């Protein structure tokens, strides 16, 4: 049953001495798409007593979203802002001082500052991302593999380098943001709860110094790095499996393109794909990079390979949502094992930091815990 809640936002101008012409509440997946639709007036706060601003929104109880308060100081609000001014408004966004739940600086598009997180009561549970007292942490160390490639290698607590069964290996992309989010805590908690076995995780930050969009969509960059450099290096430094059923690729947005491509091309090495808000709408770059359509067509235009999928996507991701649904339907039509979920949210690390754990449980779970699908 759909339930809505009234959510009140309050903000005070503080001691800056600069008066506000207006204040915008930027909710990822709501305000951003309202801008695309041509009207963000419903997210503008109203002036109230003693220099404060207020806004009440009626929102579904299932919603989780990061957000910022964006004071508008440069000029009065005058209709729908042009793209340049919109970018300036977003860049001025700050976290809500009345909300202790935050994402670290630099993890939301368009703003260098930290963001707040709004979690309504029926949002999907996220029990594993936050550090816990009493959980013995593993280690995560930064390594330079040459040519500008940077990888952070997670090793679980109690790891023994010699003897024993090889550990599962997870390759996770977009390490720049995951390291800011302390992703190692997720791995620690899953292992401590017995939700997954101990695992080695290679968190890829940079591939030969290439720009992110280029590195994650150009096979001539990422494919030889993953197959020819990263995997041999991980196998030389840790006791990791070569069993594809216990080797996982995980990516968000453009990372969903590289993970699906690698698994399709190399099912003998990778048996699981965790795709979070995979950017399958991506049209390519005109420079030989992959498009989302090529990824989808690759799974429908050739023989079935032994790869399983955990796909989740925000219900507020518009064009991207439709492209992920196309991927789901294409995979299902070819008989692939696909776990699929739509969460109430947008293109947002506030959502992904919880669903990454759900994907790891789906791929490697011990049976004591289940992903909430």
The verdict on 32 and 87 lying in the same domain is yes
Report the pLDDT value the prediction gives residue 129, as an integer from 0 to 100: 97
CATH number (domain holding residue 20): 2.60.40.10
Classify residue 131: in a domain, yes or no: no
pLDDT per position in the chain (373 positions), as tens?
579 999 999 998 775 556 788 999 999 989 999 999 999 999 999 998 878 899 999 999 999 999 999 999 888 888 889 999 999 999 999 999 999 999 999 999 999 999 999 999 999 999 999 999 999 999 999 999 988 999 999 999 999 887 789 999 999 999 999 999 999 999 999 999 999 999 999 999 999 999 999 999 999 999 999 999 999 999 999 999 999 999 999 999 999 999 999 999 999 999 999 999 999 999 999 888 999 999 999 999 878 899 999 999 999 999 999 999 999 999 999 999 999 999 999 999 999 999 999 999 999 997 655 545 5
Strands (DSSP E) found in 147-243: 149-155, 169-172, 200-206
CB 222 within 8 A of CB 258: yes
Q: Which helix (H) or strand (E) holds 89?
A: helix 83-91
Residue 346: both structure tokens together: 């947008």
The verdict on 106 and 176 lying in the same domain is no
The verdict on 91 and 180 lying in the same domain is no
The verdict on 200 and 305 lying in the same domain is yes
Give the Å distances, CA to CA, from 178 to 38, 151, 184, 217, 323: 33, 12, 9, 19, 24
Report the pLDDT value the prediction gives residue 77, as an integer from 0 to 100: 83
Of the candidates 131, 154, 150, the residue with the CA atom closest to the CA atom of residue 141: 154
The verdict on 153 and 276 lying in the same domain is yes
Phi-psi region of 366 (alpha: psi -120 to 50; beta: other; left: phi over 0): alpha
The verdict on 277 and 311 lying in the same domain is yes
Classify residue 285: in a domain, yes or no: yes
Classify residue 274: in a domain, yes or no: yes
CATH number (domain holding residue 202): 3.40.50.1820
Classify residue 347: in a domain, yes or no: yes
Q: 224-229 long-range CB contacts below 8 Å, 24 or more apart?
A: 225/149, 226/171, 226/262, 227/266, 227/269, 229/145, 229/146, 229/149
Quote the domain boundaries for residue 171: 139-364
Running DSSP on this structure, what letter comes out for residue 225?
A: I
Structural domain count, the chain:
2
Distance between CA atoms of residues 312 and 293, nearest Å: 18
Report the SS3 class of residue 292. helix
Classify residue 130: in a domain, yes or no: no
Residue 171: both structure tokens together: 């390759």
Report the pLDDT value the prediction gives residue 18, as an integer from 0 to 100: 63
Classify residue 133: in a domain, yes or no: no
Report the pLDDT value the prediction gives residue 76, as an integer from 0 to 100: 82
CA-based R_g, the chain, Å: 22
The verdict on 332 and 201 lying in the same domain is yes
Classify residue 127: in a domain, yes or no: no
Report the pLDDT value the prediction gives residue 369, as an integer from 0 to 100: 54
Classify residue 124: in a domain, yes or no: no
Report the pLDDT value the prediction gives residue 277, as an integer from 0 to 100: 98
């Amino acid at each position: 049953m759909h339930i809505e809640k009234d959510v009140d936002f309050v903000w005070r101008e503080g001691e800056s001495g600069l008066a506000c012409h207006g204040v915008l509440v930027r909710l990822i997946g709501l305000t951003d798409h309202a801008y695309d639709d041509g009207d963000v007036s419903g997210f503008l706060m109203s002036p109230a007593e003693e220099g404060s601003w207020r806004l009440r929104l009626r929102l579904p109880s299932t919603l989780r979203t990061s957000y910022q308060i964006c004071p508008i100081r440069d000029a009065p609000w005058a209709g729908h802002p042009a793209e340049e001014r919109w970018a300036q408004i977003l860049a001025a966004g700050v976290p809500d001082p009345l909300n202790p739940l935050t994402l670290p600086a630099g993890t939301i598009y368009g703003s260098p500052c930290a963001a707040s997180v709004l979690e309504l009561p029926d949002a999907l549970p996220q029990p594993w991302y936050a550090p816990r007292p009493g959980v013995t942490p593993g280690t995560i160390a930064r390594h330079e593999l040459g040519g500008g490639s940077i990888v952070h290698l997670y090793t679980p607590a109690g790891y023994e380098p010699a003897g024993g069964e090889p550990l599962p290996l997870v390759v996770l992309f977009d390490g720049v943001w995951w390291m800011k989010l302390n992703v190692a805590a997720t791995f620690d908690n899953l292992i401590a709860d017995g939700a997954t076995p101990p695992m080695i995780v290679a968190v890829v930050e940079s591939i030969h110094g290439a720009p992110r969009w280029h590195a994650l969509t150009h096979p001539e960059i990422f494919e030889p790095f993953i197959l020819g450099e990263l995997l041999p290096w991980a196998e030389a430094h840790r006791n990791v499996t070569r069993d594809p059923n216990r080797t996982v690729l995980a990516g968000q947005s453009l990372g969903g393109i590289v993970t699906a491509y690698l698994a399709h091309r190399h099912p003998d090495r990778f048996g699981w794909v965790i795709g979070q808000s995979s950017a399958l709408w991506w049209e390519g770059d005109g420079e030989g990079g992959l498009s989302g359509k090529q990824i989808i067509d690759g799974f429908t235009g050739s023989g079935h390979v032994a790869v399983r999928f955990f796909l989740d996507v925000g219900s507020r991701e518009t064009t991207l949502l439709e492209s992920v649904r196309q991927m789901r339907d294409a995979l299902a039509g070819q008989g692939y094992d696909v776990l699929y979920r739509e969460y109430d949210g947008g293109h947002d690390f506030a959502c992904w930091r919880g669903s990454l754990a759900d994907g790891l449980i789906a791929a490697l779970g011990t049976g004591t815990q289940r992903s909430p699908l």
